[in-house]
Amino acid sequence: MSGFRVLEPGVLSLFQDAGRLGHHALGLTTGGPMDGAAFYWANRLAGNPEGATALEVAQGGLRLECIGDTSVAVAGAAMPLKINDQTKALWRSHRMTAGDVLELGHATAGLRTYVAAADGFEAPVYFGSTAVVRREGLGKPLHAGQELVCGASTDTDWALPMDQIPRCEATVTLRVVEGYQAAEFSAESRGLFYRSAFQVSPRSDRMGYRLEGNAVAAPAGERFSEGIAYGAVQVPPDGQPIVLLNDRQTIGGYPKLGTVLSLDCWKLVQCVPGAKVCFEVISLEAAQAAVEEFTATREATALKRST
Amino acid sequence: MPDDSMRIEVAGENALIVYLGDALSPVVADRVRWLDQQLRERLVDQLIDTVPSYASVLVIYRPDRIRMEALQEHIEEFGRATSEPMTKEEGRLVTLPVWYGTESGPDLAALAESNGLSLDEVVRRHHLRQYRVYAIGFAPGFAYLGEVDEAIARPRLATPRQHVPTGSVGIADRQTAVYPAESPGGWNLIGRCPVRMFDPLAAAPMPVGVGDRIQFEPISRSEHLELGGAP
């Protein structure tokens, strides 16, 4: 059997696949990888189909012992990777032999790193997905002693060309498709929102990123709870925006200015508390074109054979 | 009859939100349910998911399969086609047994007192009318039902409980709900329901959906236990 034994689970390590889609009517959120780009590359470098189950390692601290030969690929936040105490590179695949110990130290930049193994990890499926959502009791975080089952090693090792590796930016600009109640916000408060720099709050998690800064006056009045899209920017009465992410509640009643472009959400989730965040408007057409181009470019990217 | 009250807004790079009214009413709930069904049945390959709620439907689509403008036209067409038959398309009627009382409902006495009613009268008024499922959210399987008789309406507790037992039946303002699982919560608890509101492993994980009607039926403690309710 190919796989690993968990020696140390890390701060928070979760199985994630492409997410739980189509069950919002039951109140189920999507889950799925917070950084969709790093997750994509980890799987592709491991030779897996898109959306195969990988480990999302938040902050780091993971140690795995290989108990059956396999390959892994690691991509995402800068966490020092060691195999048998030898420093190894992220954004490429590595062959693992029984007895090898893989160690992901604490992130020096960014927050979340993905470990993909050959053929993906086997994990319990709920509503068609292995995505772990703790709030809903669907799946559990990794624990010490747990055995992880995956496929046998692949023949070739692959690496992502250097110029394709996403960078962590000091200040992240989030492009917003305006919508929902945008028109109900006053011109002044919208102006303030787009002019201001916000700081990522330590109270950010997989449900949403809370931002701190100038208070953005939200339109008054009660409204019925309504469906919340991925990336929606909600402004509660205290004027501190919250960008709602993978484990967001499915419905909510706070006014929303619009929705952050998915590609930019993936940058936001690598931001540590205190990081600076700004917003700018993008039209729906430009947003859809940006996603299309991003997808086409990464699909056209040729991996480097590394051995 | 064309429908003027429908309003469509952008809700993201791949989402639209359709507003179908601005009041809590069975008519609006019917329209939400109808539109949601039409979308789910007729645009299966173009949509990722929908979120029906009180007075709106969030529509998450695949921009590589359908243009926003085309989706908007479909929604408008469904809206036009639905104004009449909708009232015939009422949701299912689901009966949910409830063990009412001060033992199963730790806030029943306080609610009765604050609202100037007897315990029995609170219970009677709670199960006398049928409710609509207006929305599902907060937690998997948590169905917001409305509206309760004004005489038994009560605001949420000032301090929410850390642990509300599974099956607890609560009132918050003019809404009522059955807690599908143990969770924190601030609703006024008046009883407990033995029917499992959310079973992730069942073929039909929830006994109700948005737009369905609910009738509560009082049962005794022993009936509650017989039906598998938690003591």
B143-192: pLDDT as tens digits: 999 999 999 999 989 888 989 999 999 999 999 999 999 888 899 999 99
- What pLDDT does A153 receive? 84
Is the Cβ of A225 closer than 8 Å to some Cβ of chain B? yes
CB spacing of B24 vs A27 below 8 angstroms: no
CB spacing of A288 vs B13 below 8 angstroms: yes
Residues from chain A that touch B140, judged by Cβ atoms under 8 A, are 26-28, 136
The residue of chain B with its CA nearest to that of A125 is B201
Q: Who among A21, A137, A261 is closest to B48 (CB)?
A: A21
Q: Minimal Cα–Cα distance from B181 to chain A, Å?
A: 10
CB spacing of A27 vs B53 below 8 angstroms: no
Is the Cβ of B8 closer than 8 Å to some Cβ of chain A? no
Is the Cβ of A296 closer than 8 Å to some Cβ of chain B? no
ipTM of the complex as predicted: 0.95
CB spacing of B137 vs A179 below 8 angstroms: no
Is the Cβ of A288 closer than 8 Å to some Cβ of chain B? yes
Name the stretches of chain A with pLDDT < 50: none
Mean per-residue pLDDT, B84-103: 80
Tokens coding A189: 């408060």
pLDDT greater than 70 at residue B2: no
Tokens coding B162: 């850390």
Who wins on pLDDT, B127 or B156? Answer: B127
CB spacing of A25 vs B136 below 8 angstroms: yes
pLDDT greater than 70 at residue B89: no
* Structural contact between residues B156 and B177, judged by C-beta atoms closer than 8 angstroms: no
Sequence-ordered alpha helix ranges (H) in chain B: 26-42, 68-82, 108-114, 119-128, 221-226
Q: Who among B15, B68, B141 is closest to A27 (CB)?
A: B141
Q: Who among A26, A179, A288 is closest to B136 (CB)?
A: A26
Residues from chain B that touch A18, judged by Cβ atoms under 8 A, are none
Would you place residue B48 in the very low, low, confident or very high pLDDT band (cuts 50, 70, 90)? very high
Q: Minimal Cα–Cα distance from B162 to chain A, Å?
A: 14
- What pLDDT does B96 receive? 97
Would you place residue B83 in the very low, low, confident or very high pLDDT band (cuts 50, 70, 90)? low
Is the Cβ of B10 closer than 8 Å to some Cβ of chain A? yes
Is the Cβ of A222 closer than 8 Å to some Cβ of chain B? no
CB spacing of B9 vs A258 below 8 angstroms: no
Residue B198: φ, ψ to 5°: -150, 120
Angle between helix axes B68-82 and B26-42 (nearest 10 degrees) is 130
pLDDT greater than 70 at residue B140: yes
CB spacing of A259 vs B181 below 8 angstroms: no
Residues from chain A that touch B205, judged by Cβ atoms under 8 A, are 26, 127
Residues from chain B that touch A180, judged by Cβ atoms under 8 A, are 9-11, 17
- What pLDDT does B141 receive? 93
Residues from chain B that touch A136, judged by Cβ atoms under 8 A, are 139-140
Q: Who among B12, B49, B63 is closest to A259 (CB)?
A: B12
Residues from chain B that touch A24, judged by Cβ atoms under 8 A, are 49-51, 58
Q: Minimal Cα–Cα distance from A232 to chain B, Å?
A: 7
Q: Percent of chain B at pLDDT above 90?
A: 76
A84-120: pLDDT as tens digits: 999 999 999 999 999 999 999 999 999 999 999 999 9
Average pLDDT, chain B: 91
Is the Cβ of A281 closer than 8 Å to some Cβ of chain B? no
- What pLDDT does B90 receive? 65
CB spacing of A138 vs B135 below 8 angstroms: no
Q: What angle do CA A114, A120, A123 make, to 5 degrees?
A: 95
Dist CA B152 CA B129 (whole Å) = 12
Residues from chain A that touch B136, judged by Cβ atoms under 8 A, are 25-27, 250-251
Q: Which of these, B26, B19, B174, lies nearest to A223 by C-alpha position? A: B19
Residue A155: φ, ψ to 5°: -80, -30
Angle between helix axes A36-45 and A284-300 (nearest 10 degrees) is 20
Q: Minimal Cα–Cα distance from B66 to chain A, Å?
A: 12
CB spacing of A259 vs B17 below 8 angstroms: no
Number of residues in chain B: 231
Question: What helix, strand, coil percent values describe chain A, rounded to 5?
Answer: 20, 35, 50
- Name the β-bridge partners of B10: B16
Element containing residue A233 per DSSP (H, E)? strand A232-234
- What pLDDT does B205 receive? 92
Residues from chain A that touch B53, judged by Cβ atoms under 8 A, are 224-227, 251
